[in-house]
Amino acid sequence: MSVITISGNLGSGGQIGQIVARRLGFDYVDREVLIEAARALGVSERVVASRDEESPPPTLRERLVSFFQDFLERSAVAGVADPLMGIGSLETLMATTYREAAALPAASERELGDSRYKEAITSVMSELAAKGDVVIIGRGGQAILREHSRCLHVRTTAPVAVRVLRIAEREGLSAEEAKGRVEESDKARLDYHRKYFKIDPADPDLYDIVINMTHISEEDAAELIAAALPFKMPAPV
């Protein structure tokens, strides 16, 4: 069971992860997928629990819901107080941006502390990796799954000027607005990884492949990633 993590600055990656997942038949997990699963907690969890042997395999969303349910139950057993014990707060946790996560205060009775945030993200990613055949976008996957033997870690990159131009065109912004968006995103991403994982996300040693997307299409980048995956697999004993 293989895992691919893809990390990159704003304006460097686009839809590469989704293309790779489709090509390999893998599940695809990004922030939006996690938010949707957290939002579905309750209804979907009951569906998973009610399945019998003749039911079709659970969907990715249902499996994520199950992971979240397990996390909440472990928190309850450990005597952890709210806010992680409610569906709404779990959805909020998954929706947290890099900037918001980097600004989280220490754990308190009223707010989600950074240690609990890291525990939740680590728990979900570890569960996903254990199941395998998944592409995971961002959220520190290159650090959390650093020692996972069947995980290919990929970083996409491009010069700031190239990324600014792409964001301006994609979002209909002026060059100055796009530059501000890129700079803010880069800072938030750096702060997030330093705070939770004590790494610089631009460090090439964290990755098996670094792809400069200046002159490479997303389709070609996806092909490179898919072709590289077998080389990361452990040799047969």
Q: What is the pLDDT of residues 204-222, one digit of tens each?
A: 999 999 999 999 999 999 9
19-28, 79-88, 198-207: which range is least confident on average?
79-88
* Alpha-helical segments (H) within 103-208: 114-131, 141-144, 160-171, 175-197
pLDDT at residue 202 tops 90: yes
Q: Which of 104, 107, 117, 108 is nearest to 144 (CA)?
A: 117
> Which domains, from first to last, does the chain contain?
1-26+133-237 (3.40.50.300), 31-132 (no CATH)
Instruction: Specify the pLDDT at position 105.
Output: 59
pTM score > 0.75 for this model?
yes
**How confident is the model at residue 58, as a pLDDT?**
61
Give percent of the chain with pLDDT exceeding 70. Answer: 72
Question: CA–CA separation, 115 vs 105, rounded Å?
Answer: 9
Report d(CA 2, CA 100) in Å as an integer: 31
pLDDT tens digits, one per residue of 80-123: 444 344 445 666 666 777 777 777 655 443 344 566 777 778 88
Q: What is the mean pLDDT of the chain?
A: 79
What distance in Å separates the CA atoms of residue 69 and residue 123, rounded to the nearest whole number? Answer: 11
Mean pLDDT of 30-49: 62
